[in-house]
Amino acid sequence: MIPAKHIAKDVHNWLDARQDDAMDFIKELALMESPSSDPEALSKLLVWLDARLSRLGMYTLRVPGRASGGYLYVRPKEKLPNQPVQLLLGHCDTVWPHRTLEEMPLREIDSRLAGPGVYDMKAGIVQIVFALQCLSDLGLKPKVLPVVLINSDEEIGSRESTPAIRRLARIADRAFVLEPPLGLEGKLKTTRKGLGRFTLTVYGKAAHAGLDPEKGANAIVEMARLVQELYALNDFDRGTTVNIGLIEGGISPNTIAPESRVVLDVRVLTEVDGKHVESAIRSLKAKTEGVRLEIEGGFGRPPMEATPGNRKLWAMAAKTGRAIGLELKQAMAGGGSDANTTSQYTATLDGLGTPGDGAHSLHEYIQTDRLSERTALLALLLMLDPLNKT
């Protein structure tokens, strides 16, 4: 059931009255630089978020990381017996190193707020907090209990936080991911490519290139042949890409190269295509006499496909958007996120963050006049009936 219009109006009015507070919150977050490589800085940011959400009367649990800053788990203190849950996901780490603010300062120009991490995805974190606070202040209790996980290692593959994300996704009625949307239109992400990373190393035999080249086995020559086989795995019509993004080898011009290495970025739209490409990569054989091939890696994130649950959740979101005057659009994203993981277990909708542009780019910004409407959309989505009614 789509929330009644009077609820939508109350939510909009509450959020519009607190637009300045939300903007201040984003600025505070952005000024706390939080590169994925600094667990201490990430931990401090999560402590700060923990305190903020605790003041809303939420139950919070901060789980420290080993190589990351850990993650923060949040839910309302009151929970009904057997109440279904819905998962809200965000990340507080960014790709930007410390002191980026010196070259890329936080700045507000017209209806834009620019700065490192504002679009990807500190605005999304603010939307989570304000959506929950809005519902609480208005006395609106979702039938599906909202639980939040904010991790600190998403930009580097969510290796430490993925087990927790999987556990929550398995029991969740649905998942909302607050990554930035696609394009200035703010398209929601209903499918994402799966991402694999493979390293191929060819081991040959060194020899003097002038005195006795026949005694060597050139790893670079073998790798050059393999690169052609790898490139042939591209199938752009199916959305399959195999990019040879890094290649190295040899030790000097007058030495037969004893070693060569390539690193591949592989992206696919379906799990079937992923298995096909991975099988083809692992089936590669060295053909140059005296060399051997070693293959490492695999798919770190499976594709987010258009499952029946994902399609149903998208349809409900589109209907909710129309009820508040938003004509939402959907799109496929070539990059991966934690939505790739949750989509394996529950209906997932991604890209619910604030529209803008420049993720991982020097011109990163959000459209500040869209912050309130996207937070309202999230709040109303949290009020939807369970997808899986018992």
Nearest to 113 by CA among 56, 29, 223: 29
Query: pLDDT digits over 125-168, tens only?
Result: 999 999 999 999 999 999 999 999 999 999 999 999 999 999 99
> Where is pLDDT greater, at 389 or 333?
333
Q: What pLDDT sits at residue 352?
A: 98
Q: What pLDDT sits at residue 366?
A: 98
Query: pLDDT digits over 338-363, tens only?
Result: 999 999 999 999 999 999 999 999 99
Res 390 pLDDT > 70: no
How far, in Å, CA of 165 to CA of 274, rounded?
A: 22
Average predicted confidence (pLDDT) for the chain: 96
Nearest to 41 by CA among 54, 51, 29, 26: 29
**CATH number at 194-301:** 3.30.70.360
Query: pLDDT digits over 278-326, tens only?
Result: 999 999 999 999 999 999 999 999 999 999 999 999 999 999 999 889 9
Compute the average pLDDT of residues 362-366. Answer: 97
Query: pLDDT digits over 207-264, tens only?
Result: 999 999 999 999 999 999 999 999 999 999 999 999 999 999 999 999 999 999 999 9
Domain limits of the chain?
5-192+303-382, 194-301
Choose which CATH entry (3.40.630.10, 1.10.3720.10, 3.30.210.10, 3.40.50.1820) describes domain 5-192+303-382: 3.40.630.10
How far, in Å, CA of 37 to CA of 93, rounded?
A: 9
Q: What pLDDT sits at residue 80?
A: 87
Q: What pLDDT sits at residue 4?
A: 65
Res 171 pLDDT > 80: yes
